Amino acid sequence: MPKKLFIKTYGCQMNVYDSGRMTDVLTPLGYQTTDSPDGADLVILNTCHIREKAAEKVYSELGRIKPLKARCQGEGGSMIVAVAGCVAQAEGEEIIRRAPVVDLVVGPQTYHRLPELIARAHRETGGVLDTDFPVESKFDHLPQPQAHGGVSAFLSVQEGCDKFCTFCVVPYTRGAEFSRPVDQIVAEAKRLVGDGVREITLLGQNVNAYHGAGPDGRDWGLARLIRNLAEIDGLARLRYTTSHPRDMDDDLIAAHGDVPQLMPYLHLPVQSGSDGILEAMNRRHSADEYRRLIEKIRLARPDLALSGDFIVGFPGETDADFAETLRLVNDVTYASAFSFKYSARPGTPAASAGAQVDDAVKVERLAALQQLLGAQQDAFNAATVGQTLPVLVERAGRKPGQMVGRSPYLQAVHLDGPDTLMGTLVDVTVTEALANSLTGVAAPPDALTAPVPLRESA
């Protein structure tokens, strides 16, 4: 009888990748994934600590799992409940104290040890804890990744962060910056492509700070890694996320102009448009430096679509500071973006700053910012109507005969066509832009629109 494994993933793409790798670790032990915690032998919550709301979600989920575990035990069975990810790292033992339903707490750098930790959790009472930052990387111990059946896959190349933005928990939950060696990454990418993957998104908390050991004994930067991966036969598209403006070097900018597999879409968070706030956040660049950087990248790749992250209501943020953020957004123009109310995180420097901003003010600023960003996103999507874009078909749509893929700019595109289109690049003429997706029809050969700066056509 296979054992049932339920994994719920919160937070960023790195957690999605990690959940896949946890499954790889547990498959040889006879675990098969299931989509409900009810009746599962092992429940893993792979958690996120970035904002208070994200962290609190875990405890409500544990509240729902408690009666399921009790019922399972009442029927003579056993259920192991594990908390993994960034809340596990940040709160450790505190989780077991607050939620005794938890048997096992495992941090992001030690989940390769899950088999022994689960065995211990079966033997011992009171909860098992492993939140080490071991010297040896988990990547040296993980089994080969298994095919998860998708056309698009994530691949972690870098982990951790040394930037210490004053609002952020990541340097504490993920540890110091670490880059995987080039050979290991290339082997994993080739394996994914062999399993049918056509698009790989390289992941790192600070991915453009990548500096992994190359086969020539030197450290390679992200651009060199990308150029090398682009040579893999059958790999149609490459993306990377998330980047820091400070680490956007000339070689990486040049790669956007001359590596055709590298998609013209870049997530480059700026957080704020005010120099004073940027300094208080320890972002280590000014708003104008960011503007100039964007100009330079768009010079290399004129049709580049930009995405970003913003925080409103950082301690000390005034109306004038916030107006600077709106001005920056107007100058830069985003195709999509994420924006958040500042959330004070325990242990981070900004959390104890005197001038915390009222929630009502945060709510107001967030609404204004989201209205502007939403309008920019709508304009960006509308500008693609009438264009013919290469779409990588990823899955079947909800309606029969419908398929869904992604444009180079990461927009979801619906089109009519057979299942056999899965994993292929189809030239699609966009006919309609909806709120969160585009609709299009397959175009005749050679109909592709030459890449145009969509920003200017908007």
250-258 vs 222-229: helix axis angle to the nearest 10? 20
197 binds ligand SF4 (CB under 6 A): no
278 binds ligand F3S (CB under 6 A): no
- Strand pairing of 42-47 and 3-9? parallel
15, interface contact from ligand SAH, ligand F3S, ligand SF4, none, CB < 5-8 Å by kind: ligand F3S
163 binds ligand SF4 (CB under 6 A): yes
Distance CA 375, CA 353 (A): 33
In the shown chain, the binding pattern of residues 237 to 266 toward ligand SF4, with x for contact by CB under 6 A and - for none, equals: -------x----------------------
205 binds ligand F3S (CB under 6 A): yes
Interface residue with ligand F3S among 15, 156, 201, 272 (CB under 6 A) is 15
Neighbour tally for 271: CB within 10 Å:
24
DSSP string computed for 154-174 = EEE-EE--S---TT--HHHHT
Q: Are 389 and 408 in contact (CB under 8 A)?
A: yes
Tabulate helix, strand, coil % of the chain (nearest 5): 40, 25, 40
86 binds ligand F3S (CB under 6 A): yes
Q: Which residues fall within 8 angstroms of residue 280, CB to CB, at 6 or more apart?
A: 166, 314, 315, 316, 350, 353
Stretch that binds ligand SF4, among 165-173, 187-195, 259-267, 432-440 (CB under 6 A): 165-173
Q: Are 321 and 281 in contact (CB under 8 A)?
A: no
Please give the residue ranges that form the binding site for ligand SAH (CB under 6 A): 50-51, 167-168, 170, 205-206, 242, 244, 269, 271, 309, 311, 340, 342-343, 345
70 binds ligand SF4 (CB under 6 A): no
171, interface contact from ligand F3S, ligand SAH, ligand SF4, none, CB < 5-8 Å by kind: ligand SF4
Stretch that binds ligand SF4, among 107-115, 162-170, 182-190, 328-336 (CB under 6 A): 162-170
The conformational region for residue 271 under phi > 0 = left, psi -120 to 50 = alpha, else beta, is left
51 binds ligand SF4 (CB under 6 A): no
Tokens of 11: 């937070």
Q: Which residues bind ligand SF4 (CB under 6 A)?
A: 161, 163-165, 168, 170-171, 205-206, 244
Q: Which residues bind ligand F3S (CB under 6 A)?
A: 11-12, 14-15, 48-50, 85-86, 169-170, 173-174, 205
